[in-house]
Amino acid sequence: MNDYLRLDGVSKRYGEIVAVRGVSLSLHRGELLALLGPSGSGKTTILRLLSGFETTDEGRILVDGEDITALRPVDRRFGMVFQHYALFPHLDVAHNVAFGLRSLGVRGRDLDGRVDDALALVDLRGFEKRRVHELSGGQQQRVALARALAPEPRVLLLDEPLSNLDPSLREKTRLEMRDLVRRVGITTILVTHEQEEAFALGDRIALLRDGRLEQAGTAEQLYASPASRFVAGFIGRASGIEGEILARREREIDVRVENAVWTLPADSAPSSDRVILMIRPEALRLVPSNDEVLTARITARRFSGAQAFYHLRTGRGVVLEVAVAPSLETAGDQVGLVPVVPGVHLFPQETD
Amino acid sequence: MRIRKAAVPGALLIVVLFWLIAYPLLLVAVESVRTPDGWTLAFYEELVTHRSEWSALWASIWISIVTVLVAAIVGIPLAFLFSRFEFPGRRVLGALIALPAVLPPLVGVIAFLFLYGESGFVSKLIQATLRLEQAPWRLQGPLAILLVHAYSMYVYFYLLTRVGLSTIDPSLREAAASLGAGRWRTLHSVVIPLLRPSLAGAALLTFMASLASFSAPYLFGGGFRVMTTQIVSTRLNGNYTMAMVQTVALTTVSLIGLWLISRTERRERLGGGSKGTAPAPVRIESGTVRSAVVLASWSLALLLLLPHVTLLLLSFVPAGTWTTEAFPPDYSLRNYVSLVTQPERLRPLLNSLWMAGGAMIAAVAISLAACHLSIRAIAPGRRVIDLLLAVPWAVPGTVFAIALATLFSVEAPLMGRTILIGTIWILPLAYLVRNLPLTSRAIASGFLALDPSLEEAAASLGAGRLRTLLRVTLPLLRPALAAAATLAFVTGLGDFVTSVVLYTYDTRPLSLEILSELRQGDVGAAAAYGVLLMIISALVFVAGSERKRVTR
């Protein structure tokens, strides 16, 4: 496979704490990968290993076949947009953008031309002489992007680039940034803790947890076939309930869930019989309550346009979330629940 | 017309501050062009035309400029070393390195005399090792002054550079690196420009301190005069008007300095913007470099501690027992015992304690009122109050001593003048004036950090003004008050510059007693006083900072 950027079993320790454990990832040229995970999952550390601000304890990083693991940040030619932009406050916009070009020895009219190109790219022509503190947050973000892209880096690193913007501005900037990165066609790694951002920007998403790579793939892959209970819970919504596999057949299995027995496809079944079922809200249907189906009581309902979300408490006290077409049931009503596949994922109970 | 409530106390405060700060300086300006025969500019002409006159002014200026350079060369690299790199002993040394700041000026100068003077330890040691006929050098003239200045003033550069470095967002340096800038380019095109306000501030502080420096030129100058020593000697020679003219000249140079400081401070606020998370210091990887750094910094610490140790050692030397030996042959506690048992020896200590204490209380009280009026009440004329409070900071102590001596040497109550010279009041008053900028700055920073809604909350809960002040404002200001009091007390206790002009035998403070013991050849007694000063200062500092911790 033609990998442009590759991480090969990369690990990083800070004393006793292991921040990154044997992460391997690869990106083809021009791909945008979003590193997603809760705080402390190691995504920022991976970005700093890529930029060279931290040294890897184990593993290699390769760009276009070249091993850059030991290269200093200065020599990596990786562009980076920092979380707080890190624009030089003592320089104007043009000099900020020119900074990286000067490192490459670009001078004179060539320099002016390339600064102009970079500013045109982010639609900030005419802002050359502005000082950083005179710009809005969105403009600062674009200057940071122009500055990182101007020296034509091999890889672009984005550290939560939208987290410093007003929520109202975030969506618009997200679209602009996506377009820009596509247009430039640069291989990009984005760090974010927001699922929505990762979905909107990333060609693929790498989900991290405790320094380990849980799963990498497109948003659809992560949603439709989560590799672990954690992925199922982190990507999209899902409620968990315990169950036990009673019978395995070639195509189907029978699973006891409280008072009911569900028949589910066999392909997702783990080898152990005690399982956790992670159920998407749209994978349950409400039916009239009887002894054959899982019974639950409606504890809350939230109307949201085309759908309504119900919170239901089962006989054993497990709370499930269900998305249904708005109907007449109200809080306190007793209902039955049946599964609608796909959308029910089974994981062994002993691991979480 | 509506008069704001704070107008009356505000006006009162302005009158007091004007009387103590601006008025004496104005009097000096007037006296400098007046003789019994009428108005004259003759003395100014003399200042300009006589070489012996303007050379002292020129000496003050060039000594100050060279001091800035030397202090920068020592202080800036040290600051980089201690904030950027991790090596064994970094924390301890980083604290020790500010030691010269706690040595009262005269005490420091005397310690240098015992160390590097013709019969000082270091000189004797070199003389003995190299079997020289005479001492290897004479601790005199500009070089000696510069040595002392470098020792005591590099601290400004060291501290301000460290503060500056700690406010530079570490991601700025990472950004430079990710844009391909190497270490040197990052240093000169990112770090240094961002440090510029701090460096400018340190340069001006050093310049002002050096311009006002008195103890070192007084003891080491020999025939070499700077403006401060020139003024005092002109006055001692009875040429009062000429002394006034020189005072005006020195004041002018100082005020230009103050103006420059306020200008850079304003620019600093514009340039800021990055927030302060200090980057973690980097471990020095190379073993050889690390050993060299450790060795160099411990030697430096030793060099910085030598004056303190020397004083301590000498304080145990009884009078007349040490003559030609390299080290004193005899040690005892006699000097300390006599300090307590002989009333004449105890007196300077008691004098200094009560004068510094009284000046401290008054300075804190006035500063508290001033800060309350200018920050909380927003009294009319607050800018005048701020300006008046800043003046004694920029104007050398010698100038204030001369100015106060002028104001309080004539009995003219209608003109706000009365004879205080020769009384016990003049020195505490002088200390008070010199304390005001320190105390008001410390208290103002406390006030600015205090959320005004706390006082408003007290008021809304029905607390009157006095109760709000006593139960809310003052307790919350305690750290700032403690810092202010500490600074004021320590400054007053060690004061030499103003005391030398204004003291009488009965009110002589510690510094002058040290000098007179020294002149009588009783090195041990002088050193014992010096050690005492050091210990009291250190205790006050510790007490001040401890109270701070309790309130947190």
Q: What is the pLDDT of residue B268?
A: 53
> Cα–Cα distance between B51 and B237 in angstroms, integer?
18
CB A284 within 8 A of CB A327: no
Does A161 contact B at CB distance below 8 Å?
A: no
Q: Which residues lie below 8 Å from residue B490, measured CB to CB, with a gap of 6+?
A: B102, B104, B356, B537, B540, B541
Token output for A245:
């596999």
Chain segment A64-116, per-residue pLDDT in tens? 999 999 998 888 999 999 988 999 988 899 999 999 999 888 998 999 999 99
Q: What is the pLDDT of residue A49?
A: 94
> Cβ A80–B178 below 8 Å, yes or no?
yes
> Cα–Cα distance between A88 and B192 in angstroms, integer?
12
B411, pLDDT greater than 80: yes
ipTM of this predicted structure: 0.80
> Cβ B175–A151 below 8 Å, yes or no?
no
Where do the DSSP E strands lie in chain A? 5-14, 17-27, 32-36, 58-63, 66-67, 78-81, 155-159, 187-192, 204-209, 212-217, 239-248, 252-257, 260-265, 274-279, 284-287, 294-304, 307-314, 319-324, 334-339, 344-348
Residue B487 burial by Cβ neighbours in a 10 Å radius (0-12, 13-18, 19+): buried
- Which of B180, B185, B271 lies nearest to residue A90, judging by beta carbons? B271
Query: Residues of B with CB below 8 A from A84's CB?
Result: 169, 171, 275
Q: What is the pLDDT of residue B473?
A: 85
Sequence-ordered alpha helix ranges (H) in chain A: 43-51, 73-76, 93-103, 108-121, 137-149, 167-184, 195-201, 219-224, 229-234
B276, pLDDT greater than 80: no
| pTM metric for this prediction | 0.80
Chain segment B156-181, per-residue pLDDT in tens? 899 889 888 888 888 898 999 999 89
CB atoms within 10 A of CB B106: 29
Chain segment A255-309, per-residue pLDDT in tens? 999 888 998 888 878 888 899 999 999 898 888 888 888 989 988 888 877 788 8
Query: Residues of B with CB below 8 A from A104's CB?
Result: 180
Sequence-ordered alpha helix ranges (H) in B469-522: 474-494, 497-502, 510-519
Question: Which DSSP symbol is given to B412?
Answer: B
Beta-strand relationship, A294-304 and A307-314: antiparallel
Shortest Cα–Cα distance, B182 to chain A (Å): 6
> Cβ A83–B171 below 8 Å, yes or no?
yes
The DSSP H or E segment spanning B178 is helix B170-178
Task: Tell me the mean pLDDT in the region B319-343.
Answer: 79
Query: Looking at chain A from residue 113 to 132, which residues have their Cβ under 8 Å from any Cβ of chain B?
Result: 132
> Cα–Cα distance between B177 and A99 in angstroms, integer?
10
Closest CA to B214 of B296, B303, B363, B105: B105
Q: What is the pLDDT of residue B205?
A: 86
Report percent pLDDT > 90 for chain A.
Answer: 49
Does A71 contact B at CB distance below 8 Å?
A: no
CB A244 within 8 A of CB A274: yes
Mind spelling out the 3-state secondary structure of B442-454?
HHHHHHHHCCHHH
> Cα–Cα distance between B374 and B384 in angstroms, integer?
9
Chain segment B95-120, per-residue pLDDT in tens? 778 777 778 888 888 888 888 888 78
> Cα–Cα distance between B385 and B380 in angstroms, integer?
9
> Cβ B177–A73 below 8 Å, yes or no?
yes
Query: Residues of B with CB below 8 A from A72's CB?
Result: 177
> Cα–Cα distance between B280 and B285 in angstroms, integer?
15
Token output for B341:
């048992």
The DSSP line for B239-308 is -HHHHHHHHHHHHHHHHHHHHHHHHHHHHHHHH--S---PPPPEEP--HHHHHHHHHHHHHHHHHHHHHH
> Cα–Cα distance between A346 and A262 in angstroms, integer?
12
- CA A194, A199, A200, A206 torsion-angle sign: positive
Task: Tell me the mean pLDDT in the region B278-288.
Answer: 72
> Cα–Cα distance between A233 and A239 in angstroms, integer?
7
Token output for A205:
């998403």
Shortest Cα–Cα distance, A318 to chain B (Å): 45
Closest CA to A151 of B131, B134, B175: B175
Closest CA to A332 of A308, A300, A309: A300
> Cβ A88–B177 below 8 Å, yes or no?
no
Chain segment B393-409, per-residue pLDDT in tens? 888 999 999 999 988 88
Residue B129: strand, helix, or coil: helix
Chain A and chain B share a number of CB contacts under 8 A equal to 70
Q: What is the pLDDT of residue A188?
A: 95
A1, pLDDT greater than 60: no
> Cβ A89–B190 below 8 Å, yes or no?
no
Q: What is the pLDDT of residue B324?
A: 67
Shortest Cα–Cα distance, B456 to chain A (Å): 32
- Residues β-bridged to residue A85: A82
Query: Residues of A with CB below 8 A from B178's CB?
Result: 51, 73, 76, 78-80, 100, 148, 157
Buried-exposed string B156-183: b where 16+ CB fall within 10 A, e elsewhere: bbbbbbbbbbebbbbbbbbbbbbbbbee
> Cα–Cα distance between A186 and A152 in angstroms, integer?
9
Q: Which residues lie below 8 Å from residue B203, measured CB to CB, with a gap of 6+?
A: B68, B72, B157
Does A154 contact B at CB distance below 8 Å?
A: no
Task: Tell me the mean pLDDT in the region B132-137.
Answer: 79
Query: Residues of B with CB below 8 A from A148's CB?
Result: 178-179
Token output for B412:
């003219």
Token output for B120:
């000082």
Q: Which amino acid, residue B536?
A: I
B272, pLDDT greater than 50: no
B35, pLDDT greater than 60: yes
Chain segment B208-256, per-residue pLDDT in tens? 899 999 999 998 888 899 999 999 999 888 888 888 899 999 999 888 8
- Which of B180, B190, B194 lies nearest to residue A100, judging by beta carbons? B180
Distances (CA, A) of B333 to A24, A239, B313, B319, B336: 73, 82, 11, 11, 6
Question: Which DSSP symbol is given to B471?
Answer: I
Asked which of A272-281, B69-78, B516-525 is least confident by mean pLDDT, the reply is: B516-525
> Cα–Cα distance between A224 and A227 in angstroms, integer?
10
CB B154 within 8 A of CB B71: yes
- Which of A76, A77, A89 lies nearest to residue B274, judging by beta carbons? A89
B270, pLDDT greater than 50: no
Confidence of residue B274 (pLDDT cuts 50, 70, 90): very low
Task: Tell me the mean pLDDT in the region B461-477.
Answer: 82
Sequence-ordered alpha helix ranges (H) in B408-460: 426-449, 452-460
- Residues β-bridged to residue A274: A244
Confidence of residue B2 (pLDDT cuts 50, 70, 90): very low
Chain segment A306-338, per-residue pLDDT in tens? 788 889 999 888 899 988 877 767 777 888 888
> Cβ A77–B274 below 8 Å, yes or no?
no
B549, pLDDT greater than 50: no
> Cβ A103–B181 below 8 Å, yes or no?
yes
CB B249 within 8 A of CB B52: no
Q: What is the pLDDT of residue A113?
A: 94
Residue A283 burial by Cβ neighbours in a 10 Å radius (0-12, 13-18, 19+): buried
Highest mean pLDDT among A45-54, B89-98, B383-392: A45-54
Chain segment A205-240, per-residue pLDDT in tens? 999 999 999 999 999 999 988 999 999 989 988 999
B280, pLDDT greater than 70: no
Confidence of residue B281 (pLDDT cuts 50, 70, 90): confident
Task: Tell me the mean pLDDT in the region B377-405.
Answer: 84
